[in-house]
Structures are given as structure tokens and as C-alpha cells.
Structure 1
Amino acid sequence: MMYLLLIVGFVLLIKGADFFVDGASSVAGILKVPSVIVGLTIVSIGTSCPEAAVSISAGLSGNADISLGNVIGSNIFNLLMVIGICAIIKPVPSPKEILGRDMFWNIACSILMFVAMIGLKVARYEGIILLAGIVAYIIVLVRSALKSGQDDEELKIIPIWLSIIYIIGGAAAIMFGGDMVVDNASKIAENFGMSKTLVGLTIVAIGTSLPELVTSIVAAKKGNSGIAIGNAVGSSIFNILFILGIASTLSPIAVDKDLLIDAAILIAVSVMTFCFAKTGKSTSRIEGIIMVSCYCAYTAYIIARCYA
């Protein structure tokens, strides 16, 4: 039963995020907010709602290992599997803005998270610093987009009453889905003798990253593989600054010392992703295979570490 409830929780998270984004985007369109700002704020944050709901729920319920493991595991999955699989389907080009701006933000955020974890606790003031970072990052994105005139996308407008239902219903689904995922993932961990850190790094991380994976694969199949790298890198930045920032601000997060190793691996993965994207201005199929192989090796390592 717990497995079924876990799946239901993931469905609520993903579909809830979809409805929330649609409703919020529609309201923004009715209020004449530029679509580029909507895309860089509401949509970006909305697609990170599954991770946010799980991390916040885990932190408040005393399952901090799942909370922090979810952020680190999701980022490693996004960078290695999302970009790697898309590169195998079709080489992923590296847009100049992402290569020269977002990649550096991603590496810097990974280092910042590692530094915050060194004392084996992510304190409230560190969470506030992370939240200040996401505000700064969004401002940089919006200024860059407005300067380049990227505002040619039409927002889908739905009736205001339906938009409100979407927002409230989506938020409720995200909240209940997050609680269901954390509760049942914790029970699975106990039944199999798995650490909550391992569950956060694997089952929960992969489950909450499914929207990014599906979106990127669909884009790659349509020949828009460049979306994959922006989707994965942007999501990774939001996970650290927005999700970890909120979770640790609400409740300081105790850090399992093993997660320091995973955070260090994330820094290495971030640098590797940048190097692959830099060479030839794209991530090749061979590099994609290497990235997917690295994720499989990493998963084997953390499972072996758990049962050692």
C-alpha cells in the first residue's frame, strides 16, 4: 500500500505543479505581466514545487536527511541523467547565455551549499542568504531577458475563476503530495533498512525530477535539445537557492556527514557538465553516455555505502 501511496504522492506533486503554473500564468497574463517575467519566475518556481514540497515537508517533520538528500540527489540527476539522456538522443547545444552565466551560477551555488553544510547544520541565517541569492538570480535573468527583447511567447489565458481554482487546487495537491511522498518514503526506508539519506538521494530525488526529465526528452525529440541544458541547470540553481533556502529558513537542517561527500560530488558533476558543454559548444553523444554511466556508478556507490 505504501508504494501505491508513494506513486499517488508523486502524481499529486507533478500535476499539482502543472495546474498551479497554468493558473498563476493566466492571472499574470490578465494583469498584463510580460510573458518573459512569468516564464523566469512563476514557471521556474512552479516546476520546482515538487522538490520544494518534499523538502519543506521533510524538514518540518524531522526528516531532514530526506530534505537535503532530495536537493543534492535531484541536482545530480538533472545534470547527469537529464542532459546525458538528451545528448544521447541528439547532441545538446550550449547557448551562450547559459554557458557564460547560468553554468557559473550553478557551480557557485553548489560550492555555497557545500560551505553551508561543513558545520553539519544549515542554519536559518544561511537559508536567508540562499533566498537572497534566488532573488538576485531572478533579477539577473529578467534584466537579461528584457534587454535582449525575449518576449514573443503568448500566455494561455483562462477565466479568472478557473485560474483561482487551478492555483488553490494545485497548491493543495502539492502540499498533500509532498506529505504523502515523505511519509511513505520514510516507511519504505524503515522496512528495507535503508537510510533516509539514501531514499532522499534516489527514490525521492528521481521522482521529483521526473517533470524536468520528461520535458527535456520531449524537447530533444522535437529537435529543441538546447532546452535540456537550460532546464537542468536552471532547475539545479532553483533547488539550492529557493528550495534549500526555504526549508532551512523554516527549520534548521542537520547534515549527515555522508552528505558532504555527495555535495562534493555535485560540485565535481557541475564542473564536468560545464567542461562538456564548453568543448565544441555542445554536449556530444559520447559525453552523454559518459554522464549517464557516471550516474549509474554514483547510484551503485551510494547503495553500497548505505549497506556497508
Structure 2
Amino acid sequence: MDVNSYLLVLVGFVLLFLCGNWLVRGGVELSRHFHVSPLVAGLTVVAFGTSAPELFVSVKAVFTESPDISIGNVVGSNIANIGLILGAVAIIFPLAVRKPSILNDWLVMILSYALLFLFLINEVLEFYEGLIFVFLIAGYIVLSVWSSRKHSAKSVEVFPDPTMKILPAVGLVIVAVLGLYFGADWLVKGASDLAIGWGVSERVVGISIVAFGTSVPELATSLAAALKKEMDISIGNIIGSNIFNVFSILGVTAILKPLQVSPRVISSDMIWMTVVAVLLLLFMLPLRNGVISRWKGALLLLFYIVYIWVLFVS
């Protein structure tokens, strides 16, 4: 291991951060050109854009014989999204919860965790299980769009004007996808070398360093939403991203190549992932007037810090 490993990880982080945001921006601009509603754009373009780094990293890892980085990236990102990102945002901007419907999204997230645990009992995520995940994420998107349209049927749909011409928007998306590919490639290679050099498992590096790097777009999106006082978007983005991580990222990865999973992921990491999700629900209560206050955010952040400490010392 040499300085090149650290440079690969650093450059990979930067590319994933920049290109994840470029993909969201370019995709939203294209949706405006084609008069796709903000709702549909949010559920598809934005959700996929913020989860794209995890997808590229997981697919790259499984094809370079680093499956623990692939699964650890997703599980670690889901823990970081709630513990690190939502906790940090709540410390800066207490998050108000005004939509009881967010419980439905939380239940879908828990369902994705339960199915993942069930599918991984044999320590392999099979091709057909990946197909089930992909069908479920498609159904989730369709039902979310239908439900929102039903509740806003009497309102007039507003299509924001694009701020970028169509060709630059297409170019931005293409550049973002290429950047995500190379960013994922370099991050996985650098992280694998670091694991060898530090004498720790690829699972530990995947759950900590790689997961943090791929969660940066969610951090940027949640902070931006909180700054605009769109608190439900901030919380909803995190829950939606976690659902996408399990259903779409692991689903697509398993379809491309069955995913071998370390027993420690099932017996330890997934338990931590579920516990922090339950903490989030408790902290959101009551759902109509709940507030994730600064002290709750501090507890979520402390939970994440303790988890990373246990990860490295165990």
C-alpha cells in the first residue's frame, strides 16, 4: 500500500460527490424539458441520482471480487444516512415532521430490511431475489406517484421552466455517468488496497470509508432541503434513499452477479441498521407534530460514532 491508494480514495470521493449532484441537476433539467412533474422527478431522478454512487460502487465491487465492499457499502450507507447525515442535519437545523404519510415510507424501508435478512440467510443474494427487489422498487415508485396524484387531483400541476438548454443538460448527465463509473472504480480499488494495508477486512472498509463517500450526495441534498425549510423532504430523502439502496442497488447487483455475503453482515451490521431505523421512528413521533430536535440528532450521531468504533475494535 502506498500514497496512491489514498489518492485513489480521495479522487473517487470527489468524483462521486460532484457527479452525483451533476446527475441530479442534469436529470431534473431534462425532466423539465419533457414536462415531467416535480413529484415524479423527485421519486425517480433525484432518488436515483443520490443513490447512483452506491450503485456504481456495488456493481464494480462485485465484479472485482470484493463482495464485502458491495454489501457493506449499502448497509453502511443506510446506517450513515440516518445516524451520521440526519443526525448532523438535525443538530444544525431541528427537523419538523408534519406528514403522517412518512410512516408508510418508513414501513417500506423496514420491509426492505426484513426481506434482505430473509434472502441472506443462506449468505447469498441470488439472481431471482434481485429480480424481486427490482420489481418491488418499481411498484413502490408507481404507488407513490399514484398516491400523491390522488391527493393532489384538485390542484393544478406546475411544471417549472428549465434553466439549462437540452443539449447541455444531456451532456451534464453523460459526464456525470462517466464520472460515477471512474469514481467508483478508483474508490473500490483504493479501498481494497487500504483494507490490505491496514490489516482489516473489506467489510469494515466498505461499511466505513466507502459507505461514507457514497453517502455524501444524500448529505448535500438533505442540507439543501433543510436550509430551504423543506424538512419533510430532508427526512423523506433519507428514507427514500435507504429504500433505493436495498431494492434497486442490491437488486441490480444481484441480477448482474449473485452476491456472496459475510456472516458478520447478517449477525451484526444489519442489526445496527435496523436499530437506528427504529430510533428514527421513535424520534419522529408524533408524526403530525414531531420534531427531530438537536438532542435527538446528537444521539443519532453518537449512535453512528459508537458503531464505527465497535466496527474497528471488534
Query: Which TM-score band applies after superposition, normalised by the shorter structure?
Result: over 0.9
Q: Tell me how far apart the structure 2 counterparts of residues 138 and 175 of structure 1 sit (CA, whole Å).
A: 25
CA contact (8 A) 1:109 1:237 kept: yes
Fraction of identical pairs, as percent: 35
Which amino acid in structure 1 is aligned with residue 246 of structure 2? I
Cα distance, 1:98 vs structure 2: 4.5
Number of residue equivalences: 305
Deviations 1:185-204 (A, max 9, x none): 10111111111000110000
1:286-305 pair list within 5 angstroms: 286-305=295-314
Which amino acid in structure 2 is aligned with residue 265 of structure 1? W
Q: What is the aligned counterpart of 1:56 among 55, 59, 72? A: 59
CA contact (8 A) 1:30 1:157 kept: no
Deviations 1:152-177 (A, max 9, x none): 46253422222221122111111111
Specify the alignment match of 1:17 in structure 2: 20
Specify the alignment match of 1:43 in structure 2: 46
The reply on whether 1:174 has 2:180 as its aligned counterpart is yes
Which amino acid in structure 1 is aligned with residue 299 of structure 2? I
Pair 202,303 (structure 1): closer, same or farther in 2 beyond 3 Å: same
Cα distance, 1:205 vs structure 2: 0.5
Cα distance, 1:97 vs structure 2: 4.7
Q: Secondary structure at the match of 1:118?
A: helix
Specify the alignment match of 2:220 in structure 1: 214
Task: Tell me which moved more, 222-231 or 201-210.
Answer: 222-231
1:159-198 pair list within 5 angstroms: 159-198=165-204
1:89-104 pair list within 5 angstroms: 89-104=92-107
CA contact (8 A) 2:23 2:176 kept: yes
Cα distance, 1:223 vs structure 2: 3.5
Q: Secondary structure at the match of 1:194?
A: coil
| CA RMSD after TM alignment | 1.8
Q: Tell me how far apart the structure 2 counterparts of residues 20 and 211 of structure 1 sit (CA, whole Å).
A: 10
Pair 227,37 (structure 1): closer, same or farther in 2 beyond 3 Å: closer
Specify the alignment match of 2:80 in structure 1: 77
Q: Secondary structure at the match of 2:35?
A: coil
Q: Tell me how far apart the structure 1 counterparts of residues 14 and 78 of structure 2 sit (CA, whole Å).
A: 20
1:136-175 pair list within 5 angstroms: 136-149=139-152, 151-152=157-158, 154=160, 156-175=162-181
Unaligned runs of 5+ in 2: none
Cα distance, 1:235 vs structure 2: 0.8
Specify the alignment match of 2:90 in structure 1: 87
Q: Tell me how far apart the structure 1 counterparts of residues 226 and 159 of structure 2 sit (CA, whole Å).
A: 20
1:264-303 pair list within 5 angstroms: 264-279=271-286, 281-303=290-312
Cα distance, 1:23 vs structure 2: 2.6
Cα distance, 1:141 vs structure 2: 1.5
Q: Secondary structure at the match of 2:285?
A: helix
Task: Tell me which moved more, 237-246 or 278-287.
Answer: 278-287
Pair 42,99 (structure 1): closer, same or farther in 2 beyond 3 Å: closer
Task: Tell me which moved more, 243-252 or 222-231.
Answer: 222-231
Which amino acid in structure 1 is aligned with residue 214 of structure 2? T
Q: Tell me how far apart the structure 2 counterparts of residues 155 and 186 of structure 1 sit (CA, whole Å).
A: 44
Q: Tell me how far apart the structure 2 counterparts of residues 31 and 214 of structure 1 sit (CA, whole Å).
A: 26
Cα distance, 1:294 vs structure 2: 1.0
Pair 155,302 (structure 1): closer, same or farther in 2 beyond 3 Å: farther
